[in-house]
Amino acid sequence: LATDLAARGLDIKGVETVINYEAPQSHEIYLHRVGRTARAGRSGRACTIAAEPDRKVVKAAVKASKAQGAKVASRVVDPAVADGWAKKAKDLEEEIDAVLEEEKIEKQLAQAEMQVTKSENMIKHEAEIMSRPKRTWFASEREKILSKKAGAAELNGLDSVKSKKDKQKLSNKDKKRLDDARQRNEGNIGWKKGKVDRESQKQGKIQKGKKDNKKKGKK
């Protein structure tokens, strides 16, 4: 039986027949479903149970199959026969539900028995279990970060490992200031007056001008 869940990616050997209990929504999905059989040059058969609303998909499938030289056969089920089988399935509903409930109980009993056995073993071998080292399955976030930094340092050197703060971009003003300082250290250019120096020089000129004016007034 093929469903959309098992329609792709499966390559199961020996699949001779694919049965679509319900017709797929499109011809593309139909191709993926029936493609589970007749693989690698082998032969296979696909059977699709379709109703009147599925006519469009069935028509496309028949057309594509005949174009590839495949044998296509159509069978019409008498409504009375279909109703008879539906009644038989309905009559088996209570019996099927009883079997499913029994299987559910058996599964629960098996799980309970497994838990009891596990508890007995823990009590019986308590000393041995407690003496074992504690298992560490997952690394903490801090350990992950440290491991990542250590790997980067080993691969690229310590200089390549920088914090986010170190990676922040400098402003144009800061870049210019660093360039000027580097050029001064190299002796390429003279000292360039900063804002404070310019303000001091300006104040000195103003004071000198005032003194000259006072001298002129006295004369």
From CA 50, how far away is CA 66, in angstroms rounded? 18
- Whether residue 199 has pLDDT greater than 70: no
Average pLDDT of the residues in 165-182: 70
Residue-wise pLDDT tens digits, 50-101: 888 888 988 898 888 888 888 888 888 898 998 999 999 999 999 999 999 9
From CA 167, how far away is CA 160, in angstroms rounded? 10
Domain boundaries, the chain: 1-75, 77-130
Residue 6 confidence (pLDDT): 58
Residue 102 confidence (pLDDT): 95
φ, ψ dihedrals at 77, nearest 5°: -90, 130
Long-range contacts of 60-69 (CB under 8 A, 24+ apart): 60/27, 60/30, 61/27, 61/30, 64/27, 64/31
Question: Can you name the residues that pair with 46 across neighbouring β-strands?
Answer: 18
Among the residues of the chain, which ranges form H helices? 27-34, 55-67, 79-91, 93-124, 126-131, 141-156, 172-186, 195-218
Residue 37 confidence (pLDDT): 78
From CA 202, how far away is CA 157, in angstroms rounded? 50
3-state SS assignment for residue 45:
strand
Residue 167 confidence (pLDDT): 53
pTM: 0.39
Residue-wise pLDDT tens digits, 95-124: 999 999 999 999 999 999 999 999 999 999
Q: Which CATH superfamily is domain 1-75 in?
A: P-loop containing nucleotide triphosphate hydrolases (3.40.50.300)
From CA 73, how far away is CA 46, in angstroms rounded? 10
Residue-wise pLDDT tens digits, 10-62: 677 778 888 888 888 888 888 878 877 777 777 888 888 888 888 898 889 88
Question: Of 41-55, 158-172, 186-200, where does the model show the most confidence?
Answer: 41-55
